[in-house]
Amino acid sequence: MKNRRDFLIKSTLGAAGLALAPAWLQGAPSIIKNYNKPDSQINGVQIGCITYSFRSLPDQSAEATLKYITDSGLSAVELMGDPAESFAGMPSPTFDRMKAWQLGGRERRGETLSDNDKNELAEIRKAAEAYSQEVAQWRANASMKPFEQLRKMYKDAGVSIYAFKPSAFGMNNTDAEIAYGMKAAKALGASHVTLEHPSNDAHTLKLGKMGEQFGMAVAYHGHEQQTFDFWDTALAQSPKNALNLDMGHYIAAGHKDLLQLIEKQQKNILSMHTKDRQRPENGKGNVVWGSGDTPIGDVLKLMQKNKYKFPATIELEYQVPEGSNPVAEVQKCLEFCRKSLA
């Protein structure tokens, strides 16, 4: 009884003492909790990053990816599928994905492939098809607990996951995979999933309706096919369909109404990929921020002025300079945002 009385007295005195303490000391628990954690909300604008930016780094685990994010100074992220799904136990691929990407890219660009390259690409595609079926089966039975654990690990480090982008929402994915991707996104704490716009009205309708079923928004990303009314059909199909706008690709397509598009769609934009690209007449290049034609600073100021809540997502796509690395370059992009929003 005495111990309990002493505890209550000390607790009361402690609370009273804190109430009488200076304002800065009253905030100490919060300060301690957030000490040494990143904060990339800059004067009202949330700056994030898609983890695709770190694709060239050798360790793609969830733990390593988290370190890349925090070392970059970021507190919010659009998480690609691989780090999260490998953390959750997804089977590893049995083929060389980098080789598949390289050969497939050469083929898409119309480059001539040797007979050996063609045979290798055919074998890779065969292995990839078998792997896709294995992954689909795993996803259909995957537990959400690892995703909840990953969310906590990131949150404890000061990082929130606002979007999730696994390869689970395509036209060749099963309904079970789509449902899995939406449930995983929710377990990660994301407000939306992202994917490339499929250019198929039936599929955007399907995804929107499944989003309604699982309480998850679906934000469509575009490249140079983006236009002022690119998303209108999907938006009309479901309140869960939304935009994952890419400002750099929009400029590279030759459009000059980016700010007007953002003003028109600001309620439907859930996140916005941010990069500097050139206009067609200047070569369409992905370039160091501030040296291209994309009005990144003007867009950030518009977001600040109008108090838009969606994040500006840094996407590192320009060539990393010799002697540098993706983390250092993302840091430079974040500093560009700080100066723009000062």
Asked whether residue 77 is domain-assigned, the answer is yes
pLDDT of residue 20: 53
260 in the same domain as 137 = no
pLDDT of residue 161: 98
148 in the same domain as 135 = no
190 in the same domain as 111 = no
Query: How far is Cα 41 from Cα 25, in angstroms, rounded to an integer?
Result: 23
Below-70 pLDDT ranges, the chain: 1-35
Asked whether residue 301 is domain-assigned, the answer is yes
Q: 142 with 104: CB under 8 angstroms? A: no
Asked whether residue 197 is domain-assigned, the answer is yes
Query: How far is Cα 71 from Cα 294, in angstroms, rounded to an integer?
Result: 26
285 in the same domain as 257 = yes
Query: How far is Cα 274 from Cα 318, in angstroms, rounded to an integer?
Result: 12
Asked whether residue 4 is domain-assigned, the answer is no
Asked whether residue 11 is domain-assigned, the answer is no
254 in the same domain as 122 = no
Query: Tens digits of per-residue pLDDT, 215-255?
Result: 999 999 999 999 999 999 999 999 999 999 999 999 999 99
269 in the same domain as 130 = no
Question: Which among 80, 108, 141 is the end of a domain?
Answer: 141
225 in the same domain as 121 = no
Asked whether residue 269 is domain-assigned, the answer is yes
Query: Tens digits of per-residue pLDDT, 251-263?
Result: 999 999 999 999 9
Range of the domain at 277: 37-90+144-340
Indicate the helix (H) or strand (E) that contains 220: strand 217-221
pLDDT of residue 212: 98
| pTM of the entire predicted model | 0.88
Query: How far is Cα 192 from Cα 6, in angstroms, rounded to an integer?
Result: 50
Q: How many domains is the chain partitioned into structurally? A: 2
Asked whether residue 268 is domain-assigned, the answer is yes
185 in the same domain as 115 = no
245 in the same domain as 110 = no
184 in the same domain as 287 = yes
201 in the same domain as 262 = yes
Residue from 79, 87, 273, 268 nearest 185 by CA: 79
pLDDT of residue 304: 98
pLDDT of residue 1: 43
Q: 29 with 295: CB under 8 angstroms? A: no
**CATH code for the domain of 60:** 3.20.20.150
336 in the same domain as 279 = yes
